[in-house]
Amino acid sequence: MDTAPPRVSVVLTTHNRSRWMSEALASVLNQTWRDFEVLVVDDASTDDTREVVRAVDDPRVRYLRNERNLRLPASRNRGIREARGEWVAFLDDDDAWLPEKLEKQIAVVGRGAADLGLVYTGSVMVDRVSGKIHYTWLPAKRGDLSEVLRDGNCLGPGGSTALARKTSLERAGLFDEDLRYGEDYDLWIRLASAASFDFVAEPLIRCGIHPSGMTRSWVNWAAAMEPLLRKHEGYFGRQMRSEYLVAIGISRCMSGEMGAGRRAFLRAISLSPLTKRPLVHFLLSLGGQRFYAYARLRREDRRFGTASASEART
């Protein structure tokens, strides 16, 4: 006889990170909320991920392997499609949950509105090599986020904080498999058009930061936002698109891609010609990367007191 479906399906996606994936999987199995299944979606890894998963003696764990690398959005979508639970949680292989994460999210579900589609939590950003905590992020936005998300991804970094209703994900169209970055933000925008959001105001995941990838953080953010602006052109509007293009231009210039940065500033100017900020950044970019970085940090220092001259030179 078939058992009743679990309340929660956890989609754990992994690719060649078995040493961290085992910690991520353990953090799920150690949850105080016990009514769940775990779908480990192995994105064609070449390490010992299969053996690590099969060594876990727990019938709630299911192993799914992609025969070729499909990337994160497609792997998550496979997990969603095979999930048996009413609610779906996501966990990347370099993140880990605190033991009460699911229990506290399910408590919010229990008192939530009928249209509740997603519950998210705060997170602690941790250096995967040194163990240093970079910062703690806490949520602040709930309810109808269809307008709020225009101002940015208020659900925080990554998708490991989210617990989403499966039917809401399906109606929103799942993750866009054509996006290389920003697939979380894209899905939240679509999901918010028909569902409300809520949160647990605690940092209930440890989100891994990799020093080798931090140097590309500017590039990755710009790479995420450029296709999102094209896809959601009508959603963001001219002024908001101009503001995002300035941020993209800053990202490109700070990573040394001065030509791409200037083009973003010029596009921002064309969308909002009476706004001073894109023109200022375009003119600063003409001085080259070192001058731009120094001038930008000095401007931030004057505005917020957040950067010193020595930091700017660095």
Domain ranges of the chain: 8-212, 215-313
**Contact in structure between 142 and 156 (CB atoms under 8 Å):** no
- Averaged pLDDT of the chain: 88
Span 49-69, average pLDDT: 94
pLDDT, one tens digit per residue, over 161-175 is 999 999 999 999 999
126 close to 134: Cβ distance less than 8 angstroms? yes
- What's the token pair of residue 53? 């998963």
Q: Would you say residue 309 has pLDDT above 70?
A: no
Q: Which of 105-114, 201-210, 211-220, 292-301 has the highest mean pLDDT?
A: 105-114
Rg of the chain (C-alpha set):
21
What is the identity of the amino acid at 208? G
d(CA 280, CA 52): 53
β partners of residue 209: 127
CATH 3.90.550.10 is held by the domain 8-212: yes
What digits encode the pLDDT tens for the residues 105-162? 999 999 999 999 999 999 998 887 777 888 899 999 999 999 999 988 999 888 999 9
Report pLDDT for 11.
98
Give the confidence band of 39 by pLDDT, cuts at 50, 70, 90: very high
